[in-house]
């Protein structure tokens, strides 16, 4: 890992300081590396054969790269190098946006009643199409640095907005004053506007980088695209969608519904730091009545044995 990146990432992970680890260019490859480390421990120390035990792979945002490695589409080393460079460009995109506009950037989660999500998304899109401006503002085209985007649709009652924090606040005022919506808003820890037009240079980089990376589309395990919410269909489809993922919405909820309703997945295993993904899946499909079905998270190698014991109880379709 360190030799691949020419960076002592293992030292940053183990020794910190957190201020260094939390930098985008370090945190993103670190998260991916830890996810694949857990997968390798599963494979090499517990005899876990992904090709026979896993029916489909799926990853949220950055996790899409780990899911492509797990599914056999990308090799770990080249994928890690792309993730590191992608993260460096994303960090620079954020710095450039701040310098150009003087605004603060980030992401805000909105939580609403489940039966109001579709209308909330439609209303937000209508406001965004009009430039998120009040009546006394000049009618002008907003630059990518100033736009607000829907970064994630995470569940039946949660979306995430990305972009200028001031413009997100302005959008929330409009929603509450003029649309009848009053979602609970939670500022996320991210100081970068991921999955927004600000990240276009990262999308451009990925499009070029993927032309020089070996992609094995003979991989036997389907992998779900964040952008389309269905499996990648070809090498060209993968290159296109993985590039666009930098600036487009992560359709997580649609992906979960597709796997649940159309693929009949009953067992869901999250691997890697944190349990956010497991919790998002659990909210949607956590009450699995099928024997052996359920949702698990392996955030630490010490959790592996219990998860494998639970998985041995049935042969239901499994996503990782």
Tokens 């990146």 found at: 5
| CATH superfamily name and code, 105-187 | Malonyl-CoA ACP transacylase, ACP-binding (3.30.70.250)
Catalytic residue flag (residue 19)? no
Of 27, 35, 60, 61, which is the active-site residue? Answer: 61
Asked if residue 17 has a cis previous peptide bond (ω within 30° of 0), the answer is yes
Q: Show the low-confidence residues of the chain (pLDDT under 50).
A: 132-140
- In the chain, list all ranges with CATH 3.40.366.10: 2-96+197-319
All CATH 3.30.70.250 domain ranges of the chain, comma separated, are 105-187
Fold (CATH) for 2-96+197-319? Malonyl-Coenzyme A Acyl Carrier Protein; domain 2 (3.40.366)
Residue 121 half-sphere exposure toward CB, CA atoms < 13 A: 17
Catalytic residue among 132, 164, 192, 195: 195
- The answer to whether 195 is a known catalytic residue is yes
3-state DSSP call for residue 133? coil
3-state class (DSSP) for residue 76: helix
* Rama region for 6: left / alpha / beta (φ>0; ψ in -120 to 50; rest): left
Q: Is there a contact between 260 and 280 (Cβ–Cβ < 8 Å)?
A: no
Query: Could you read off the pLDDT of 119-172 as tens digits, one per residue?
Result: 999 999 988 887 544 444 433 455 666 689 999 999 999 999 999 999 999 999
Residues 93 and 99: their CA atoms lie apart, in Å, by 10
DSSP characters over 194-244: TTSGGGHHHHHHHHHHGGGS---TT-SS-BB-TTTSSB--SHHHHHHHHHH
Query: What's the confidence (pLDDT) of residue 134?
Result: 46
């Amino acid at each position: 890992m360190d030799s691949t990146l020419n960076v002592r990432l293992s030292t940053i992970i183990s020794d910190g300081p957190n201020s260094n680890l939390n930098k985008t260019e370090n945190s993103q490859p670190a998260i991916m590396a830890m996810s694949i480390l857990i997968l390798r421990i599963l494979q090499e120390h517990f005899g876990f054969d992904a090709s026979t035990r896993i029916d489909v792979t799926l990853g949220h945002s950055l996790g899409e790269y780990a899911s492509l490695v797990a599914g056999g589409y990308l090799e770990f080393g080249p994928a890690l190098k792309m993730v590191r460079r992608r993260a460096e460009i994303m960090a620079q995109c954020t710095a450039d946006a701040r310098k150009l506009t003087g605004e603060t950037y980030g992401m805000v989660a909105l939580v609403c009643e489940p039966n109001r999500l579709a209308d909330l998304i439609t209303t937000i899109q209508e406001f965004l199409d009009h430039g998120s401006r009040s009546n006394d503002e000049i009618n002008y085209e907003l630059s990518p640095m100033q736009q607000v985007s829907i970064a994630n649709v995470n569940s039946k009652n949660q979306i995430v907005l990305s972009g200028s924090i001031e413009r997100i606040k302005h959008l929330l005022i409009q929603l509450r004053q003029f649309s009848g919506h009053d979602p609970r808003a939670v500022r996320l820890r991210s100081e970068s506007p991921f999955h927004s037009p600000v990240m276009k240079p990262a999308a451009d980089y990925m499009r070029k980088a993927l032309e020089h990376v070996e992609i094995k589309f003979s991989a036997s395990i389907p992998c779900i695209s964040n952008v389309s919410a269905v499996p990648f269909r070809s090498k060209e489809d993968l290159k296109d969608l993985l590039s666009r993922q930098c600036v487009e919405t992560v359709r997580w909820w649609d992906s979960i519904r597709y796997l649940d309703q159309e693929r009949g997945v009953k067992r869901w295993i999250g691997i890697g730091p944190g349990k956010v993904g497991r919790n998002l899946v659990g909210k949607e499909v956590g009450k699995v009545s099928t024997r052996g079905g359920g949702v698990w998270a392996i955030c630490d190698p010490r959790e592996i044995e219990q998860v494998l014991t639970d998985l041995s109880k049935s042969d239901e379709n499994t996503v990782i």
